[in-house]
Structure 1
Amino acid sequence: MVDVVVDPGVPPEDAQLLRDSRQVLLKMRHGWAPEPRRAISSSRHRMIAAFGTVAFFGVMLGIGGVARGLGLLMLVAIGIPLMIVLFVRNDLPEDEDDDDEDERVAYEQLRWYEGRYVLTEDLDEASARLLARAQRAIATVTTSRVNAEGLLDDVRNGVMLPAQEWEIARLLAKLSALRTKHRETVSQGLTPEVEAVAAPLARALDSSEEAVLARVEALERYAVNVTDAERAFVAHRQIEELRGRLHQYEELVAETGADTFAVPELERLAVDADRLEQALRRSVSSAHEAFGHLEP
């Protein structure tokens, strides 16, 4: 089961970042946000002040002709090494490791996509099962050889199936959140007046789940048709391979005088190949018809 379902409208690079950043998204779900980057530390302030002091005295000493050499010596002996240390230290992170910085960068990008992704943690148990069923059906289609060979409408599959997955996940997330709140309220005990209102609302939740279930079952019917086409496709390929070697079998039978081997049985391969080709066409046609029911 995919842990993060992303709105197909999200740019591909950002969508992949969303899928790869599940732990950050979970933290964000609980209100986490990275702390602001810290300003220059007090130790760095002291270093800057020290460098400024050395430079100042170096300049002041350098104003007098006699002391110019001493001022330059102070700058070279103290100021320049201090400046090197300052810049080296400035390049090193103080209280922040690489993981924190990666999470900060991810947060800056991901916070714009709230509402454009669904985590499995957003779903209650029943909804998670429904989403898993939908994803299994979609995987059956997208990984099939008939889809890879272009016997199905692979372009429309590439657009429609992710859209279906997202819509199912989005609706199930809303259903889960509302159903959880509804159960919390009901568990506290209801007066007859409130119960009269709560009962229709519970039925509304049930009918919404049934509507999503109908979407999932439509996907599963499509996947069943694709599975049938897959079996016919594989069998047709195998028969074609055998039929391509038919003359070799016939030659071997003739040369060995194997009269007990009935050549007509071999010739039935041609008939079987035709039959399987027709079955494949019917299966693909049925799959196309089932796919049509997925469209809004």
Structure 2
Amino acid sequence: MQRVVVDPEVPGEVADLFRQNGPLLYRLRTKRPPRDVDAPRVPGALMGFFGGSVAVVGGGLVFAGAPIPQAVVLLIPLIIFYLFILGVVYLARKPSPVDSVERLLYAHSRQWHGRFLILEDFDYDARHQLGRVQRAIDHILRSRVNAMGMLDSVRNSVMLPAEEWEIARLLNKLSSLRAKHRHLAKGGRSPEVLAAMAPLERALAASEAAVLARVEALERYAGHVADAERALRAQGQIEVLRAHLPEYEQLVAETGAARFSGPEIRHLSGDADMLQRALRESVRSAHEAFRHLG
């Protein structure tokens, strides 16, 4: 499933919140803001009513001749009752965890408006290309060769999210422009209209090709990383086999089968050397693809 794309300039904790709540961001965009986003927990009018009623009752008791200490004692049950009511109202109005996330998302989405893109910001073709971009980036960043520092892991962690955002931003513009273009073409296509629209269609096609080239460059980089991953995995397996080589050599020597099996077993060292060269070549190709991407 495609994730929300966030401008790398957005703080990390906010970006993570956006990525984890794509459907909720869409709902916030298409309905009224969360209720009581900025309201206090307990209505001020209710507190004012309770305070005023306590003052009126207390003043009435004093006016009726009750000593002040006795009036205070008589007011205690009323105050306790009012505090109980206020507590009930507070708990009733206290937001649930979902409401709290919704409020937080709403506040951040207003603050960072235009700095994140959700699935609904793209048309079908753009979603498909964005999925390709995100799969390629995830494969690169999660690879063992990247974690082991065989690639430029620091630059990857900075440049690849920036490239994802830039491609997503362009795909969003293409989606919007394609929708407008289809709307303009709805009224029929006379020769005059076709002639007028031809340069626009060429510009749109050229832009689509340019964005597709960036997507394919990312995929080529991910392909070289995949080659390096396969070579690294195979190299590890060959090294395990080489560790057991003396056992096999001893066995064939004891059974007198050395003249049949010895040459095949010795090829193992050559295979390991070949895989080491393949790994170096794959990593070199990945570095070249990375430089081209940058």
Q: What's the CA shift for 1:41?
A: 7.3
2:59 to 56, 59, 71: 56
Q: How does 1:4-83 map to 2 (within 5 A)?
A: 4-30=4-30, 32-36=32-36, 37=39, 40=43, 45-61=48-64, 67-68=67-68, 70-76=70-76, 78-83=77-82
Number of the residue aligned with 2:186: 187
1:203 matched to 2:206 = no
Cα gap change, 1:170 to 1:278, in 2 (>3 Å): same
Partner letter of residue 111 of structure 2?
W
The alignment yields a C-alpha RMSD, in angstroms, of: 2.5
Match of 2:282 in 1: 283
Could you tell me how far apart the structure 2 residues matched to 1:225 and 1:73 are?
83
Q: How does 1:142-291 map to 2 (within 5 A)?
A: 142-190=141-189, 192-259=191-258, 261-291=260-290
Q: What is the deviation of 1:72?
A: 3.6
The equivalences for 1:83-94 within 5 A come to 83-94=82-93
Alpha-carbon offset, residue 128 of structure 1: 1.1
Q: Label 1:51 to 1:151 Cα distance change in 2 as closer, same or farther (>3 A).
A: same
How far residue 96 of structure 1 moved from its aligned partner, in angstroms, is 5.8
* Counterparts in 2 of 1:178 and 1:68: CA distance versus 1, 3 Å: same
Q: 1: distance between equivalents of 2:96 and 2:274?
A: 65
Please state if 1:125 is matched with 2:152.
no
Which residue identity does 1:251 align to in structure 2?
Q
Cα 1:69–1:165 change in 2 (3 A) is closer
Once the two structures are superposed, residues 91-140 of structure 1 have per-residue CA deviations (whole angstroms, 9 ceiling, x without a partner) of 22349655334312221122111111111211111111111112222222
Q: Is the 8 A contact 1:58 1:72 kept in 2?
A: no
Post-superposition shift, 1:46? Answer: 4.1
Runs in 1 of length 4+ with deviation above 6 angstroms? none
Q: Which residue of 2 aligns with 1:111?
A: 110
Q: Deviations over 1:134-191 (max 9, x none)?
A: 2222222222222222221111211121111111111001110111112112112355
Deviates more, 1:250-259 or 1:103-112: 250-259
Q: Is the 8 A contact 1:236 1:276 kept in 2?
A: yes
Note the C-alpha offset of 1:194.
4.3
Provide the secondary structure at the position in 1 that maps to 2:117: strand
The letter of the residue matching 1:112 is Q
Q: Which amino acid aligns with 1:167?
A: E
Quote the Cα distance in structure 2 between the aligned partners of 1:134 and 1:23: 21
Structure 2 unaligned segments of length 5 or more: list them: none
Cα displacement (A) at 1:20? 1.8
Whole-angstrom CA distance in 2 between matches of 1:88 and 1:236:
67
> Aligned with 2:2: secondary structure?
coil
Question: Aligned pairs, how many?
Answer: 291
- 1:210 CA displacement: 0.5
What displacement does 1:59 show? Answer: 4.2
